[in-house]
A and B are shown apart, each in its own frame.
Chain A
Amino acid sequence: SQELEQSPQSLIVQEGKNLTINCTSSKTLYGLYWYKQKYGEGLIFLMMLQKGGEEKSHEKITAKLDEKKQQSSLHITASQPSHAGIYLCGADTADKLIFGTGTRLQVFP
């Protein structure tokens, strides 16, 4: 079965700093999703990647999928307190999304 591993598990950064979260799959990714979740709340869709080498950006967040389609990264530029939360990657399979373990991001002033 496919597994996703995220790193780091937890990240504490100062406001204004850049950061990167990684998501590694045990199998080839055919659809990779990034979500953000505030504690105990719903999942907010960020981006979806499908093609090897694909890169998408939205505001200060950029996500990339490597050429081999087994690893994705999420990069935040000039972090702000509003970026705080749990970031989840999800891999699309035939019948479900498989989620990574999540990365908890804290941004302090």
Chain B
Amino acid sequence: EAQVTQNPRYLITVTGKKLTVTCSQNMNHEYMSWYRQDPGLGLRQIYYSMNVEVTDKGDVPEGYKVSRKEKRNFPLILESPSPNQTSLYFCASRTGGGYGYTFGSGTRLTVV
């Protein structure tokens, strides 16, 4: 089954403790992206990647890092999480032609 898999689904952590949210897709998509969703602010892009070793900042990249060492994986790294990064995070992928985005099931992160 074609899908984008995020892990974990839920995570509670403390301020300053480094964490990684993983994202993997099995559709050989070139493009992958991370979004965060917050009440009243909607979905905002954090980082995206057009292909392996090619990443770029989205609208709200501060406090986040990403890497794209292989096509299928696009982890989101929070080096020193803060409470304002408490949010619902989504990973998405699409083909290079831009036809059809597939979203993961989401990761609900709480930073205390």
Contacts and interface: CB of A to CB of B under 8 A. Distances in A.
Contacts of A33: 101
Given A41-B105, A42-B105, A96 B100 contact: no
Given A88-B43, A96-B33, A40 B108 contact: yes
Interface residues of A, number: 19
Contact of A48 (B33, B56, B100, B104): B100
A54 to B, nearest CB: 14
Interface stretch (A61-69, A71-79, A97-105): A97-105
Given A33-B101, A96-B33, A99-B42, A42 B106 contact: yes
Contacts of B98: 31, 92
Contacts, number: 45
Name which of B43, B88, B104, B108 has the most chain A CB atoms within 10 A of its CB.
B43
Interface of B: 33, 42-43, 45, 48, 50, 56, 58, 88, 90, 92, 98-106, 108
Given A41-B105, A42-B105, 15 more contacts: A31-B99, A35-B103, A40-B106, A42-B103, A42-B104, A43-B90, A45-B103, A48-B99, A92-B98, A92-B101, A95-B58, A96-B45, A97-B45, A97-B101, A102-B42
Interface of A: 31, 33, 35, 40-43, 45, 48, 88, 90, 92, 95-97, 99-102
